[in-house]
Amino acid sequence: MLGQSVDVRKGEWEARLADIKYMLHLFRKNPLVMTGTSTSLFFIILALLANIIVDPNLAYPEGYSNSMYPFERKYMWSADHIVNWGSGIALYQGSESFYLGTDGWGRDLLKMMVLAIPTDLYNATIITIVAAVFGTLLGAVAGYVGGIFDEAVLRITDVFFAFPGLVLALVFAAMFGRTIETLRLAIILVWWPPYVRLMRGQVLSEKEKPYVEALKALGAGHSRILLRHIMLNTIYPILVQATMDFGGVILTFSALMFLGFSPSPALPELGNLAADGYGHLFDAPWVMLFPGLTMLIISLAFNLLGDGLRDILDPRLRR
Amino acid sequence: MKLYEYMIRRLILLVFVLFAVSVVVFYLVRGFPTGIAPWAAYIHSRMTSEQIEAVIKAHGFDRPIWEQYFYWLRDTFSGDWGLTGTWAQGRPANEVFFNHFPYTVELSVVATIWTVTIGLLLGIVSAVRNNRLPDHISRVIALAGYSTPSYWFGFVLQLVFFYYFSLWNLPHLPSSMASDLARPNITGMPILDGLLTWNLAYVSDEFLHLILPSFSLAFISLGFLARIVRASMLEVLRQDYVTMARSKGLKERVVIYRHALKNALIPAVTLTGIFFASLLGGAMITEYVFSWPGVGQQALRAIFQGDSNFILVYSLVFAAITVVANLVVDIIYAFLDPRIKY
């Protein structure tokens, strides 16, 4: 009896492995997905190494002695740079070279962007994971239990869906004060409801299938059926949604920062860096341009990855 | 369930949603202990503490939160939405809201027109040329659309089409704000008023002002629409009646535009409706970037000032719009696809 069940297990794992191998094969065939994956990986590695590549103290000029306080190179572009922005640009003649110019504190914009990437990726990861796990569990239980609980959860999500986009997050952030934790919480508050709907729908269709009935007949408990079986079978769409949401979360997070919910104007964060260029669009366009472009690339990379994952994980879209 | 039963259910839901939204927002803006003081929007730095006390008394901020909510509810039902703070010269909140609302409607309508025309074309092209170059291009445009930070894209458009175009002596678009030419006020809708009085100078100027902000809004969602149209078009093209139409010897153009498109458009209608509703409420950042005098920008100011009355009007109107838009979309859906029953 025992031996037989081990055999079944082994076969199951082999099948899964073969499936994963096939997916990897499909993955490699699609150039867009490969681009997305490698770009995402690049940014993740950059985020891990950022504090080694660039000295994090550079972000806070107050930490430097007065003679180094770099105010005299505020919003400047290197004079010998290949790119010429046209008239009305302050040029830097000194010995240092800035590949992407300097910002309002006279800091090297490229170095600040490198320092900003871990902040953005780390916060977006936390927000996405918390929102996805919370929404998924709530949706799964609501779909499985049904009845009044289901109705109550659905009505609550209705209320959240009715809020205009950013307003709830903005009001929440404004009321709680300007800390990173508040911002995270504010965005989580806006991002969990879609997961509830998604997971609930999945569980509703899945729980009517014969294998669930078989499990019940075998005497499996509700939590075991839900967590070990139904959720494992319905996790792919959630995974895809979370990957696609990751890009959106970065954008929302940095948008809140841009609108002025940043805890400190000197914090290296992409939206915050871009906000520095708000009043200087025409005399220092790079301060707005490059952080935004980086955000676009990161978000696009994760969206390409998610889009490809969806095509690959959904058997109906494979061919 | 009959359609009218469904509608009644949804309208009951609307009442519930409005109630819940008002409670949540009311608590956040008035009752939250660590937040901005509710009276912060009504005072200025030169006021004495007695004057501040008087302001608090006059607005009833010294009462318990549930009592404040009750009075607010009563006043709201009698049409009094409270006063805004000094940022809007203390005018009634609903007056401020409805003065700026037409600009948001105008922006949303133009943005929706952009989205639908470009999104549909991209979607159809990428379905017909499935998995070939046009499809890949449309996929990249779609993904780039919803990967773009909206504020950044707005600034890039301003930088290129206003600043650099004027620098290079090319015809350039206005960078921000609405048209400041004089206009008559009949319906409150700027372009509509201009058309009614045949003030073409105003209409064209306002339209030029609309191009950049509306395109910046549309770019973010047109790709999404294109992907939906593509997916449903691909599904329809596989169906028997399309094969039938082809085997009758109809031209491919006729098959696609006369037979397939009608059915493929059903999901697009839903998406457009919901998109339009969300634009009415969600254009905050774009309005801020382009200094467009719509409600989103006012709401942003109200949030920063902690002006509870305006935030309440704003959230309630948009909660209502969202629920009603969903209802309308569902009804249109049932109308377009007779197989759907509620």
Tens of pLDDT, residues A236-262: 888 888 988 898 899 999 999 998 888
Which residues between 147 and 176 in chain B have a beta carbon less than 8 angstroms from any beta carbon of chain A?
A: 147-153, 155-156, 158-159, 163-164, 167
CA-based torsion, A180, A185, A190, A192: positive or negative: positive
Residue B152: what pLDDT? 92
Residue A123: what pLDDT? 94
The mean-pLDDT minimum among A6-15, B88-97, B311-320 falls in: A6-15
What's the ipTM? Answer: 0.85
Residues of chain A contacting B143 with CB distance shorter than 8 Å: 300, 303-304, 307
Residue A1: what pLDDT? 41
Residues of chain A contacting B28 with CB distance shorter than 8 Å: 171-172, 175
**A and B: number of Cβ contacts within 8 A:** 150
Mutate to test the interface with A, among B10, B152, B167, B238 (most CBs of A within 10 A): B152
Q: Does B270 touch chain A (CB under 8 A)?
A: no
CB–CB contact B304 A86 (8 Å): no
CB–CB contact B13 A254 (8 Å): no
Q: What is the rounded average pLDDT of the residues A173-181?
A: 83
- Segment A128-137, tens digit of pLDDT: 999 999 999 9
Residue A71: what pLDDT? 61
Residue A317: what pLDDT? 55
- Segment B6-55, tens digit of pLDDT: 888 888 888 988 999 899 888 888 877 666 777 777 877 778 888 888 88
pTM over 0.90: no
Q: What is the rounded average pLDDT of the residues A225-234?
A: 85
CB–CB contact B25 A171 (8 Å): yes
Whether A126 shows a pLDDT value over 70: the answer reads yes
Residue B156: what pLDDT? 92
Whether A297 shows a pLDDT value over 50: the answer reads yes
- Segment B245-297, tens digit of pLDDT: 888 888 888 888 888 888 888 888 888 888 888 888 768 889 999 988 889 89
Whether A307 shows a pLDDT value over 90: the answer reads no
**Per-chain mean pLDDT for chain A:** 84
Whether A6 shows a pLDDT value over 70: the answer reads no
Tokens 């709401």 sit on residue:
B299
CB atoms within 10 A of CB A172: 22
